[in-house]
């Protein structure tokens, strides 16, 4: 930021579980100011007011939209309100950062993308892991070919708590995994299937298992749940040359790179193949010690300032929502695999 | 065994990876003698001959069947030969212990069950985890209601190596998980679906993800692979009152019992439910230090001696094979869920 | 606190590494107000000013002492300044909370204890682990006899960083272990010995190994270092009936209670004893989720309000300093063990 | 071994806990034959007879010494008998492998060294870790300078069980650590001190803490115990450039190499030094999958065949015994540090 540039003035909408983290970052980042906090919960507002005396607190979202001194709105409200709030903010000419999922349907997400283009505003979705040094490091490994051919990936993202009653574990947790997969593989899946089960709230799956078929025969598997004895955030990427385990809750070694593979011993022709297992060193790289949310917020501010598209822009948000929507259809159909194209055609 | 009873004379067929463990146990168990070892591989035979000088070694399986002094045959050969060898042994009047899977089709497995009944011989399948103190402990917890209502279970059984070229990871590895699930829940699944991927040998899936729906809405998930950076053998059982993690490769604490659950705060009617997470102590029980294979082999000998049905008898072997067969059909159909009854009807 | 009671007005002196945590707690605790922050570093002061606009910031410590509206002073400055600052604060009639170690000599620490008594003021030292739920839980186990006879304890408190250049690892880190040991055993050691080594700064040991002999033949061992590849904060307590491992950086299970012991098989007389190892269940208790520093700060405020002696009062601080002083003498003497009494006599 | 060379004929003396492992290796190694097993316990002898029908079993040690067809004797008896048995074997012209410790006094160990020289026989002590791929890997790192200047090392070797009633934990367990330290540092310590405590058997310390000062200010610390809740075999080596943790019971990563260090920020002169912590990648090397005992036994056979001195020869055994003896003296003196030279002078 040049000294002469004025700060981007940001309002936070939604001061519950996650919102305060956004507030803290927009308050601390050079080049942005936290100027307003909005929530219906008075206690949450009071707390924000104490922490950030220079920010206006209000329970009137319309007043945020009408305030012409506000440049951007960060939305961290329950998922079912994302569409309505983001739409209103974009229509008022604000730049918008929405927590994941961008919306609860492809139609709504598409509309937000279109609105952002019409109003020439930045629309960004908080796919935070795309700003995580571990994920970026793995992306580099894949792009450099260090893993060889990618065979398959699987992810477990479970814990006990943060039970939602409006959206299921698929919509609440899996956006992280799906956005990571798209980012790492640089492609969208060709098909998806999902199976889940409901124990606590009627119609809301507490645990969901998702399979996604990516181009080139790459298989991805995702397990999400808020009913698990342990907090697990682990993704394994199996390549022909090397393998990676990314454990986001590990103390030491969030990323482990295994020099491991299975190779054919001989050529086909005479009898069965036999395989040789190679198992070499394990490397735990040093990762940057940055807060991914800080990187995300700085990127939002930089995109506004420079008129750039965010890496996790509205289209990226739409991609993820579309896959969730099809996964949800598979879930309702008892796990029947669904091609992405078919649904895509029907929804446009 | 009474002193006056003579020992059960056992022949081992298949002296490769697993067979020597069976040999060692039948050699050591009071009440059984290892009298013969059979394999086509001369090196393997020579090794067995050195270890057990009192056992005859032969590459002629027919001579085992014809030897009237042999009471029982333990079969630890590649899975595709289980049916033919077990059939011949039963027809020769031998008691038979077959490694898992019992056979490669429901038809073959059924035939073995019928043969064993016709010849009044013990037919047992090596579902070894049913003889594992950890699994038995968890079974007790479930039966006593200590876990409350069972919600769901998931199992990961992966490692690097032991790549098969005749059967896929489903048939090679998942029999363990399926037999454990049936044992723990005391029920067969109502439906199954499976998705997998093939990287090393055409037509042989290296990784498979399986879902099984058990009565009462209990969901089970199984992940098997021989292409993974780490050896994992872990099953999680989530109940309404407590949760269990069974990690078979843990040094300390193969079984962990978590006093954890999610409870509704209030009654429905006014607004959304809210949930309270309870997280109490963790208990790591002391388990018997027995070798599960020893328990299995002793059980085989006891069943022969007392004319009892083994806990993992031919019918249990058939149950698992039938589920594998239907899972295989789902795998070939891209993951389409299959009801167990439909296929059952068609195969009888 | 009764509604009519006014808040205790606290000033923080030392706004570096640890001070801000004290500030946050005195700001948040009902019944106390953070009214002033003092440091020589202007950047640190500015940061505190932004976080707590209602607190006065100053680099003039004398002005804190002279401010009659201030009830209490919390001192979190480098250890070599503790004595001078605490003395001045007590002489000005303030209640004082000093970070560990209370002072750098028995003489200084004694003087502070005397001053606090003369002025009838609360003098408390920040032996924070005494307010830690894990340590309190273990204290209960010991007092109830659940561990049987205590045999020995050992503690490792190492990490990489926080290298001090004015005090060595003994004075910087070991106060934690020594205060925990005195608390758990309810006794002072009879002798101490220490050996260490110096690598970074002349005369400042980076690593120190300390042995302490407690009454009843209980041996304690402490290893402290700021030159270690891993962060370890682990104490093991070995009793005749049960054993405890307290790992303060464990994610799951900071306290593990092992039902383990070694028992004599028979009675003496004929030949050698033989021993039987008993190894039972492991229990991981649920501990209160409180911030130990919050408990500590609330205790300080309560003691001021109610005229009580803190659990970690000046005398407790003096005990620890005296042991450190004797350990330091042993360190300088190449590890020669020193009786506590001898030195005690000479220092009074 | 050339085809024309005859096998070295080995007798095992002591068939209890460890002896059978020696038997298995001398039986399997090309170039050696296990020809006799000797023990006073008939059950142990019978078991060896069953396992190795070609080996003679006897409870008469003299008959082993008198048997001129026996080339070498491996001694795995209780430590107090090592000297007498090894002496007799050497005097009978046998090559001798003795388990650690070589003897229970410097005088006895010296005598064995002299005897071996007089009779031109190989005398080797079973300092097994010197044949361990992990230890050899670390030795290479140190010799190549990869760790920079070595600052200090510490080792924890504890577990529950294997309680000895004739020798204490120092003599029973610490020979491993002391031999590793001498090997890694290529030097003997200049001084040693030890403190311990006795709980189970009068006069036999169950837990001992040892400090050793090596040339160049390198400090080493060793903690041994057979009264501990967990099995730990871990050594940490702290260097100026890198650090190593060697955890012998780790599943994955017995050796971890940490790119970590602390560096001075500036030059002395103006005020205090300040330090910068560098924390880079962690590397887990692939180690050879060999059984250290096999390497040890092969080395013994090769030394006999080629007339070479073993890497862990009698002199090495004597070095370790001498340090143990001085550590024992320190232990009896309450931990008083003892110089190695002083005692050395007195014992020669």
For position A123, which CATH number holds?
3.40.50.720
Task: Indicate whether B134 and B98 sit together in one domain.
Answer: no
Q: Which of the other chains make 3 or more beta carbon contacts under 8 angstroms with chain D?
A: A, B, C
End-to-end, the C-alpha distance of chain C in Å comes to 40
Task: Indicate whether D308 and D245 sit together in one domain.
Answer: no
Q: What is the pTM of this model?
A: 0.93
Residues of C in contact with B253 (CB under 8 A): 282
- Tell me the C-alpha distance between C274 and C283, whole Å: 28
Burial class (CB in 10 A: 0-12, 13-18, 19+), C87: middle
β partners of residue A35: none
ipTM of this complex prediction, to 2 decimal places: 0.92
Task: Indicate whether D183 and D226 sit together in one domain.
Answer: yes
Distance from CA of D237 to the nearest CA of A (A): 18
Q: Which residue has the tokens 């202007």?
A: C42
Q: Which residue has the tokens 């290893």?
A: C223
- Tell me the C-alpha distance between C173 and C231, whole Å: 13
Average pLDDT over residues C290-297: 97
**Residue D324 corresponds to which tokens in the numbers above?**
């143990």
Q: How large a percentage of chain A has pLDDT more than 70?
A: 95
CB pairs under 8 A between B and D: 6
pLDDT tens column, B35-87: 999 999 999 999 999 889 899 999 999 999 999 999 999 999 999 999 999 99
pLDDT at A274 over 90: no
Query: Strand C227-239 to strand C150-160: parallel, antiparallel, or no bridges (unpaired)?
Result: antiparallel
Distance from CA of C125 to the nearest CA of A (A): 30
- Residue B129's SS3 state is helix
Q: Which of the other chains make 3 or more beta carbon contacts under 8 angstroms with chain B?
A: A, C, D
The confidence band for C267, taking pLDDT boundaries of 50, 70 and 90, is: low
CA A262 to chain centre: 32
Mutate to test the interface with A, among C251, C253, C284, C286 (most CBs of A within 10 A): C251
Nearest to A223 by CA among A148, A159, A304, A132: A159
The confidence band for D23, taking pLDDT boundaries of 50, 70 and 90, is: very high
- Tell me the C-alpha distance between D74 and D23, whole Å: 9
Nearest to C282 among B259, B279, B284 (CB): B284
pLDDT at B266: 63
CB pairs under 8 A between A and B: 144
Q: Which of the other chains make 3 or more beta carbon contacts under 8 angstroms with chain C?
A: A, B, D
**Residue B213 corresponds to which tokens in the numbers above?**
């729906």
pLDDT at A345 over 50: no
Domain count of chain C?
Answer: 2
Distance from CA of A254 to the nearest CA of C (A): 14
pLDDT tens column, C121-153: 999 999 999 999 999 999 999 999 999 999 999
Nearest to D53 among B53, B249, B252 (CB): B53
Question: Is residue C139 included in any domain, yes or no?
Answer: yes
pLDDT at A329 over 50: yes
CATH number, residue B266: 3.30.360.10
Task: Indicate whether D222 and D335 sit together in one domain.
Answer: yes
DSSP state of B31: T
**Residue A105 corresponds to which tokens in the numbers above?**
């349907």
Residues of C in contact with A250 (CB under 8 A): none
Contacts of C135 (CB under 8 A, 6+ apart): C129, C180, C183, C184, C246
Sheet of C123-125, strand order: C56-58, C32-38, C8-13, C72-75, C95-98, C123-125
Average pLDDT over residues A80-109: 97
Residues of B in contact with D230 (CB under 8 A): 252
The confidence band for D273, taking pLDDT boundaries of 50, 70 and 90, is: low
Tell me if D249 and B251 make a contact (CB, 8 A cut-off): yes
Tell me if D286 and A252 make a contact (CB, 8 A cut-off): no
Range of the domain at D153: 130-291+324-342
Task: Indicate whether C157 and C261 sit together in one domain.
Answer: yes
Task: Kindly identify which residue of chain A lies nearest to residue C53, measuring between CA atoms.
Answer: A53
pLDDT at D269 over 60: no
- Tell me the C-alpha distance between A11 and A63, whole Å: 11
CB C319 within 8 A of CB C313: no
B307: how many CB neighbours lie within 10 A of its CB?
Answer: 8
Task: Kindly identify which residue of chain D lies nearest to residue B249, measuring between CA atoms.
Answer: D251
Tell me if B251 and D252 make a contact (CB, 8 A cut-off): no
Residues of C in contact with B285 (CB under 8 A): 281
Residues of B in contact with D252 (CB under 8 A): 230
The confidence band for D160, taking pLDDT boundaries of 50, 70 and 90, is: very high
Task: Kindly identify which residue of chain C lies nearest to residue B288, measuring between CA atoms.
Answer: C280
The residue length of chain B stands at 348
- Tell me the C-alpha distance between D203 and D25, whole Å: 36
Tell me if C280 and B259 make a contact (CB, 8 A cut-off): no
A68: how many CB neighbours lie within 10 A of its CB?
Answer: 9
Distance from CA of B332 to the nearest CA of D (A): 36
Mutate to test the interface with C, among A28, A47, A161, A251 (most CBs of C within 10 A): A251
D235: enclosing H helix or E strand: strand D227-239
Average pLDDT over residues B228-244: 97
DSSP class per residue in D272-289: ---EEEEEEEEEE-----
Tell me if D195 and C201 make a contact (CB, 8 A cut-off): no
Phi, psi of A67 (to 5 degrees): -75, 110
Nearest to A281 among D259, D279, D283 (CB): D283
pLDDT at A315 over 90: yes
Task: Indicate whether A35 and A148 sit together in one domain.
Answer: no
Q: Which residue has the tokens 């170690």?
A: C101
pLDDT at C271 over 50: no
Task: Indicate whether C111 and C149 sit together in one domain.
Answer: no
D160: enclosing H helix or E strand: strand D150-160
Tell me if A282 and D281 make a contact (CB, 8 A cut-off): no
Residues of B in contact with C285 (CB under 8 A): 281
The confidence band for B117, taking pLDDT boundaries of 50, 70 and 90, is: very high
Question: Is residue A318 included in any domain, yes or no?
Answer: no
Distance from CA of C142 to the nearest CA of B (A): 19
Task: Indicate whether B168 and B122 sit together in one domain.
Answer: no
Task: Indicate whether C63 and C180 sit together in one domain.
Answer: no
Question: Is residue C2 included in any domain, yes or no?
Answer: no
Question: Is residue A175 included in any domain, yes or no?
Answer: yes
Nearest to C195 among D211, D223, D272 (CB): D211
CB B36 within 8 A of CB B70: yes
Q: Which of the other chains make 3 or more beta carbon contacts under 8 angstroms with chain A?
A: B, C, D
Average pLDDT over residues A248-261: 93
Radius of gyration of chain A (CA): 22
The confidence band for A346, taking pLDDT boundaries of 50, 70 and 90, is: very low
- Residue B179's SS3 state is helix
Average pLDDT over residues A217-244: 97
Residues of B in contact with C281 (CB under 8 A): 283-286
Residues of D in contact with B251 (CB under 8 A): 249, 251
The confidence band for B267, taking pLDDT boundaries of 50, 70 and 90, is: low
With b meaning 16 or more CB within 10 Å and e meaning fewer, what string describes B199-228? bbbeebbbbbbbbbbbeeebbbbbbbbbbb
Task: Kindly identify which residue of chain B lies nearest to residue C284, measuring between CA atoms.
Answer: B282
Task: Indicate whether D12 and D121 sit together in one domain.
Answer: yes
Nearest to B281 among C279, C280, C284 (CB): C284
Tell me if C256 and D229 make a contact (CB, 8 A cut-off): yes
Tell me if B152 and A197 make a contact (CB, 8 A cut-off): yes
Question: Is residue B2 included in any domain, yes or no?
Answer: no
Average pLDDT over residues D274-293: 92
Nearest to C193 by CA among C213, C172, C214: C213
Contacts of D202 (CB under 8 A, 6+ apart): none
Mutate to test the interface with A, among B217, B229, B237, B267 (most CBs of A within 10 A): B229
pLDDT at D268 over 70: no
Tell me if C230 and A252 make a contact (CB, 8 A cut-off): yes
CB D130 within 8 A of CB D192: no
Residues of C in contact with B286 (CB under 8 A): 259, 279-281
Average pLDDT along chain A: 93
Nearest to A122 by CA among A176, A160, A86: A86
Query: What angle (nearest 5°) sits at the alpha carbon of residue A326, between those of residues A89 and B274?
Result: 65
CB A270 within 8 A of CB A279: no
β partners of residue C33: C9
Residues of D in contact with B55 (CB under 8 A): none
Question: Is residue D268 included in any domain, yes or no?
Answer: yes
pLDDT at A272: 52
Question: Is residue D66 included in any domain, yes or no?
Answer: yes
Question: Is residue C302 included in any domain, yes or no?
Answer: yes
Task: Kindly identify which residue of chain A lies nearest to residue D286, measuring between CA atoms.
Answer: A281
Nearest to A337 among B228, B262, B334 (CB): B334
Nearest to C337 among D218, D240, D334 (CB): D334
pLDDT at A141: 98
Task: Indicate whether D221 and D79 sit together in one domain.
Answer: no
- Tell me the C-alpha distance between B121 and B19, whole Å: 22
Task: Indicate whether D62 and D159 sit together in one domain.
Answer: no
Phi, psi of D238 (to 5 degrees): -105, 115
Give strand ranges (E) for chain A: 8-13, 32-38, 56-58, 72-75, 95-98, 123-125, 150-160, 191-197, 207-214, 218-225, 227-239, 243-247, 255-264, 275-284, 338-339
Nearest to C250 by CA among C284, C291, C294: C284
pLDDT at B132 over 80: yes
CA A101 to chain centre: 8
The confidence band for B162, taking pLDDT boundaries of 50, 70 and 90, is: confident
Residues of A in contact with D259 (CB under 8 A): 286
DSSP state of C217: G
Contacts of A178 (CB under 8 A, 6+ apart): A212, A222, A320, A323, A324
- Tell me the C-alpha distance between C226 and C248, whole Å: 17
DSSP state of C99: P
């Amino acid at each position: 930021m040049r000294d002469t540039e004025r700060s981007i003035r940001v309002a936070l909408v939604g001061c519950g579980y996650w919102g305060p983290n956004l507030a803290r970052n927009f308050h601390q980042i050079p080049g942005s100011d936290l100027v307003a906090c909005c929530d219906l919960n008075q206690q949450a507002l009071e707390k924000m007011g104490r922490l950030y005396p220079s920010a206006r607190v209000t329970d009137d979202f319309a007043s945020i939209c009408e305030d012409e001194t506000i440049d951007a709105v960060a939305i961290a409200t329950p998922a079912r309100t994302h569409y309505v709030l983001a739409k209103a903010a974009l229509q008022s000419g604000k730049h918008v950062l929405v927590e994941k999922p961008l919306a609860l349907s492809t139609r709504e997400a598409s509309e937000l993308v279109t609105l952002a283009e019409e109003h020439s505003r930045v629309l960004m979705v908080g796919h935070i892991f795309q700003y995580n040094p571990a994920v970026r490091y793995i992306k580099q490994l894949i792009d450099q070919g260090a893993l060889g051919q990618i065979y398959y990936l699987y992810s477990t993202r479970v814990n006990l708590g943060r039970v939602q009653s409006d959206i299921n574990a698929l919509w609440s947790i899996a956006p992280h995994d799906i956005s990571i997969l798209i980012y790492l593989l640089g492609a969208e899946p060709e098909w998806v299937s999902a199976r889940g089960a409901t124990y606590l709230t009627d119609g809301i799956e507490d645990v969901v298992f998702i399979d996604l078929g990516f181009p080139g025969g790459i298989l991805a598997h995702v397990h999400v749940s808020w009913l698990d004895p342990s907090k697990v955030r682990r993704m394994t990427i199996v390549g022909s040359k090397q393998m990676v385990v990314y454990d986001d809750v590990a103390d030491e070694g969030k990323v482990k790179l295994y020099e491991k593979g299975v190779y054919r011993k001989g050529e086909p022709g005479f009898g069965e193949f036999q395989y040789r297992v190679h198992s070499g060193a394990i490397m735990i790289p040093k990762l940057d010690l940055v807060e991914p949310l800080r990187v995300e917020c700085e990127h939002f501010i930089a995109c506004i300032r420079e008129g750039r598209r965010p890496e996790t822009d509205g289209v990226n948000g739409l991609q993820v929502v579309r896959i969730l929507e099809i996964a949800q259809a598979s879930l309702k159909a008892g796990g029947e695999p669904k091609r992405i194209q078919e649904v895509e055609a029907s929804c446009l």
